[in-house]
Structure 1
Amino acid sequence: MNDQNSIPLWWLALAAALVPMLTIHLTFLVSAMEGHVAWCMPYWDSCTSISRTGRHGTAYFLFKGTMLPSALLGILFWWFNARWLRQLGLTGAGIAWVPWLGLVACLALGFYTVALGHAGDGFYLIRRIGVVLYLSFTFLCELLISAALRQHPVWRWHGRGLLGVCQLTLAVGILSVLINGLAPELYRRTDDAFEWVFALLINLNALWLAWLWRISRFRARFWAG
C-alpha cells in the first residue's frame, strides 16, 4: 500500500483497548472519592460491580462520556482487525465474522452505557443483555483472531499467546458459572470480582493486538485514491 495515501493505525487499536480499561478504573476512583462506592480492591474484594462505579455523581458523566466513544472506536477496531489479518495473507470464514461480531459487541456496549444509571426493569434488562453481549462477542472476536494468527508462519507465536489469554478468560467465565450453580451464596459474594477480571483480560488481549498492529506496521486508508 502506498504510504502517502495511508496512515498507521496502531494508535486506534491502542485507544480502543485503553479507553474502556482506564475508564472503569477512573470511575471507580471518582465514585470512591465521592462516597458512592467503598474503597477496596474490586478484583478480589468483589466490593462493587463495574456498573455501580458509573451510576452516580461525576462518574456518571465520565462513564457515559468515554464509553460511548469507546463503542465507536471498537467498531472501527474490529473492522480493521479483519483487514489487518487479510493484509498478513490470512483468510477464512472466521475472519469474515470478526467485524460483524465486533459490531454487535460495540452496539451492546452503547445500549448498556445509555441505560446505566436509570431505574426500572426495562433499563435493568438492557444493561444485563448489553454487558453479556459485549463481553461474550468481544471474547469471540479475540478467539477468532488468535486462531487465525496461529496459522501464520511469522505471527503464530503471538497467536498462541493470545489464545492462551482467551483460554484463561474462558476459564474465568466457566468458573463463575460453576460457582453460581454449585455455591450460589459464594457466587453472590464474588460475581463482581469475576466481572472485573473478565473485563481486564479482554482489554489486555486488545492491547496485545494494538502492539502487533504497530510492530507489523499496519497501515490503511479511510478514503479512495
Structure 2
Amino acid sequence: MLMQANNADFKNTAISGNRIWLLGLLTGLLPMLTMHLSWLAASIQGHLEWCNPYWLHCHSVSSTGRYGLGYFIFKGGMIPALVLLSWYWWLNQQWLNRLSNHHSQKLCVLGLIASPALLIYTLSLGHVGDTFYLLRRAGVVIYLGLTFIAQLLLSAALARHITQGKVLLRLSFATLAIALFSLLLDALPAVDYKSMEDAFEWLLILLLNLHVLIVAWLWKIHNLRFVLK
C-alpha cells in the first residue's frame, strides 16, 4: 500500500517504509551512472576516442557498452535498472490512484513493456548481425517512447493535484521539443545531423532520468510511504 501520511497512521502496521524516495533516486541515477562509467571504461581502454558525449562528433550510448570492461559494466548496471524501473512505475500508479480515487493501471502497463524492451536492448548490445541490430533498435525505440509517454501521463496527472507537478509537465514538454527539433534537423539536407545525433541521444536520456529524479524528490517532500500490513 502506498500512502501519504503522518507517523500516527503507522501505529498498527507491521512494516512501514518511509524512504521509498531513495528507490526513485536510485532508479534515476543508476542508468546514468552505468552509461558514464561504461563510456569512461571504454575510453580508458582505448576502445573509444576521448570526446564529450554531449557534444558533436562523439559516441552513441550503445557504443559505450560494446567493448572491454564497458560491456560488463553496461549489462551489470542496466539489468538491475530495469527491475527498479518496473517497481518505480508501479509505485507511481498507486500514488496516482490514491490522489484521484481511480484504479487505472496505465503506468504499470507502460512500465512493464518498457522494462523488457530495455532488457532486449541491453542483452543484444555488443553482438554482431542484422538480427541483433534490429533487436537493439526496437528495444531502445520502445523503451524511450513508452517511458516518455508514461512520464507525460504522470506529469499531466500530478499537475492537476500538486503544484510541483507543473515542473514535471514543463520538463516533459521541453524533452518533446528537443526530440522534435532533432527530427527537424535530421530532415534538413544542409545539416550534418550525423555529427550531432549521438549528442541528442545522450541529452534526451539525461532529461528522461532527470524526470525520475524530480519524481523521487516529490515522493520525499510529500512523505510517500510503502506499507505492509
Give the TM-score of the pair, scaled to structure 2. Answer: 0.90
Structure 2: tracts of 5 or more residues without a match: 4-8
Provide the C-alpha distance between the structure 2 equivalents of 1:19 and 1:12, rounded to a whole number of angstroms: 10
Question: 1:173, CA displacement in angstroms?
Answer: 0.9
- Root-mean-square deviation (CA), in Å? 1.6
Q: Which residue number in structure 1 is paired with residue 219 of structure 2?
A: 213
Once the two structures are superposed, the pairs formed by residues 101-116 of structure 1 within 5 Å of their partners are 101-116=110-125
Which of residues 149, 152, 163 is equivalent to 2:169?
163
Matched AA of 2:196: T
Once the two structures are superposed, the pairs formed by residues 68-217 of structure 1 within 5 Å of their partners are 68-87=79-98, 89-91=99-101, 96-152=105-161, 155-156=162-163, 158-183=164-189, 186-217=192-223
Count the aligned residue pairs: 218
Matched AA of 1:6: S
Q: Which residue number in structure 1 is paired with residue 17 of structure 2?
A: 7
Q: Rg bigger for which structure?
A: 2
Once the two structures are overlaid, the 10-residue window that deviates more, 77-86 or 204-213, is 77-86
Change beyond 3 A, Cα 1:184–1:141: farther
Matched AA of 2:141: V
Change beyond 3 A, Cα 1:21–1:160: same
- Higher helix proportion: 1
Provide the C-alpha distance between the structure 2 equivalents of 1:112 and 1:185, rounded to a whole number of angstroms: 29
Question: 1:45, CA displacement in angstroms?
Answer: 2.3
Change beyond 3 A, Cα 1:91–1:146: farther
Structure 1: tracts of 5 or more residues without a match: none
Moved over 6 A (4+): none
Q: Which residue number in structure 2 is paired with residue 30 of structure 1?
A: 41
Question: 1:145, CA displacement in angstroms?
Answer: 0.7
Matched AA of 1:28: W
Give the TM-score of the pair, scaled to structure 1. Answer: 0.92
Matched AA of 1:142: Q
* Residue 17 (1) aligns with residue 23 (2): no
**Higher RCO by CA contacts (8 Å cutoff, separation 6 or greater):** 2
Matched AA of 2:208: I
Question: 1:184, CA displacement in angstroms?
Answer: 7.4
Provide the C-alpha distance between the structure 2 equivalents of 1:188 and 1:164, rounded to a whole number of angstroms: 28
Percent identity, aligned pairs only, is 45
